[in-house]
Structure 1
Amino acid sequence: MIDTHVHFWELSRGYYDWITKERLKLCRDFTPGDFVDVIENTDVESCLAVQAAPMEAETDLLLSYAKKFSYIKGVIGWTDLSSRSLSTSLDYFKDHSAVKGIRPMAGVQSGPEWLGSDYDAGIEALSKNNLILEALALPKHLSAITSIAQKYPSLVIVINHAAKPAPNDWAYWSKRILEFSNLENVFCKLSGLTAQSLDIGHYQVIFDTLLDVFGPSRLIWGSDYPVLLETSEYVSWLKVTQYLLERLTFNEKRQITTITAKQVYKL
């Protein structure tokens, strides 16, 4: 298995203003060495390190981890896609093959427009540079992501955490997610579901919908560790995954937990 959504951080660096002292489960360092212990005795063999702060210095930190720890197969970094100096940043990332994509954080706090027109040139640049757009988004942003996918058919988009559908978002989310059925450049992570609900029935309904829309070939498994720890445990999420995938064939399970990630992120 490849865990495509793992965060690492060192709080002393001062990058993570969203990790406040009230978030007791998260308010400590989480290092690649810690994660080795977490995945011991599991089927998880490798991961992608995903940015957790809107600064390029943190991407450099993740790249240094990837050089040191061979199980980190790639990095989803950050750069300001609205910046006039974006081309310089992308040239830098080109020299680091471990960088697989960029995850803007601003959109998740915005209205339905998600990233807005200021990001158009940056999104186009990602497409031209064969970098993935990792979409940290909510259900209200899905229509905007649909428009981006249609406008840039060569841009690979990976929706993080299925856009975080809470039970009270179900009707709206299910309608919007269907729009991706025929958009072959859009993929979706089966990750982060425990942050919105602890109801296994809710997970099942979400997964059934995702399977209908994306199929195994466009679904990607991840954990959202260590944010996951605020509502669950790593092994518990693995058990939930096993439950959700139990009716699939061996090849379909492997597609979701390993193969799609290898294909999309070129691992």
Structure 2
Amino acid sequence: MRSPSRIDAHHHVWELARRPHRWLEDPALAPVRADCTPAAYAVEAAAAGVSGAVLVQVLHDPAETREFLAVAAAWPLVAGVVGWADLAAPDLAGELDALAAAPGGGRLAGLRHLAFADPDPRWLGRDDVRRGLALLGRRGLAYDLVIGPHQLPLAAATARALPGVAFVLDHLGNPPVGNGDPRPWADGLRELARLPNVTCKLSGLARPGRDAALLRPYAEVALDAFGPDRLMYGSDWPLCLLGGSYAAWAGTVDALIATLSPDERAAVLHRTATAVYHLT
């Protein structure tokens, strides 16, 4: 990987003919209801000065994870993959071994489960899930938390119980931007940030009408809670296109961290992601 200027810690790709993405049937997602390929991502990311990226799972499908590892093997820009495996499965260790042995397996950086959509609201607190999380910690793999604000206390309890696991909170924990009382989210975020094994992505907030001024109060809560050394930039491409363009989101993040020192900006833009995901 080249000397980093910007590491994108969170992006996706998909080809609609390969497997169904029913979540894209939401009318609000019509602008991204199309093939979003590694080649298309690479063009936009390169224009924004991205020198490495983390490709993140979309579906609970082990075949997708293998395909993403193959993408990483073929595209040097993809420095890491956050995939999916069933954390509660008795054979999780075998699945992790198989992923590591697959083409691109050396780029496996972590796993993620769409906990915000799981039918079990206590999924993160289950003993079998926590056993799987503990195994990730022993393997040196991170775990991405994609949750709603109401799940932040459970996430904190889980991270507290598993200090050997590196947890990464996606999208600032999905604050209610311009829609509801932000105080429960802020309180939950601060509780989670007290745990040193948790970092946070400044990602996933690009939507129509959201500019730096609107997002600044939420970013400031995260900066105060985590500090720059535990925050990382992510585009959430192609979903960032809902708010404009890749360049627009990169510019929004730059505006949100403009008052930080050069060293602090470097932490957000590349150093934190490189360390947490063991990118090389």
Question: Is the shorter-chain TM-score for this pair beyond 0.5, marking a shared fold?
Answer: yes
- 1:61 is aligned to 2:71: no
* SS of structure 2 residue aligned to 1:184: coil
Displacement of 1:116: 3.5
CA distance, structure 1, for counterparts of residue 226 and residue 130 of structure 2: 25
Secondary structure at 2:53's aligned position in 1?
strand
The alignment status of 1:75 with 2:84, answered yes or no, reads no
2:158 corresponds in structure 1 to 148
The Cα shift of 1:227 comes to: 1.3
The answer to whether structure 1 residue 224 and structure 2 residue 236 are counterparts is yes
**How many pairs are equivalent?**
267
Of all paired residues, the percent bearing the same amino acid is: 31
Structure 1: gaps of 5 or more residues: none
The one-letter amino acid paired with 1:177 is: L
Task: Give 1:20-31 correspondences, 5 Å limit.
Answer: 20=25, 22=27, 23-31=29-37
Q: Distance in 1 between matches of 2:97 and 2:181?
A: 40
Superposed counterparts of 1:27-106, under 5 Å? 27-95=33-101, 96-106=105-115
Structure 2 match to 1:164: 174
What code does the residue aligned with 2:270 have? T
Equivalent of 1:6, from 4, 11, 16? Answer: 11
Deviations 1:187-214 (A, max 9, x none): 0000011249715333111111111111
Q: How far is the alpha carbon of 1:155 from its aligned partner?
A: 0.4
Query: C-alpha root-mean-square deviation of aligned residues, in Å?
Result: 1.8
Normalised to the residue count of structure 1, the TM-score between the two structures is: 0.94
CA contact (8 A) 1:107 1:114 kept: no
Q: What is the TM-score of this pair, normalised by structure 2?
A: 0.89
3-state SS of paired residue (2:113): coil
Confirm or deny: 8 A CA contact 1:7 1:49 kept in the other structure. yes
105-114 or 208-217: which moved more? 105-114
The amino acid of 1:72's aligned partner reads V
Which of 201, 207, 222 is the aligned partner of 2:219?
A: 207
Instruction: Provide closer, same or farther for how the CA distance between residues 83 and 195 of structure 1 changes in structure 2, counting only shifts above 3 A.
Output: farther
SS at match of 2:200: strand
- Unpaired stretches in structure 2, ≥5 consecutive residues: 1-5
Distance in 2 between residues matched to 1:108 and 1:171, nearest whole Å: 22
Residue pair 1:165, 1:196 contacting (<8 A) in 2 also: no
Measured in 1, the distance between the counterparts of 2:153 and 2:120 equals: 11
Q: Describe the shift of the 1:232–1:166 C-alpha distance in structure 2 as closer, same or farther (beyond 3 A).
A: farther
Q: Who is 1:263 aligned against? A: 275
8 Å CA contact 1:15–1:53 kept in 2: the answer is: no
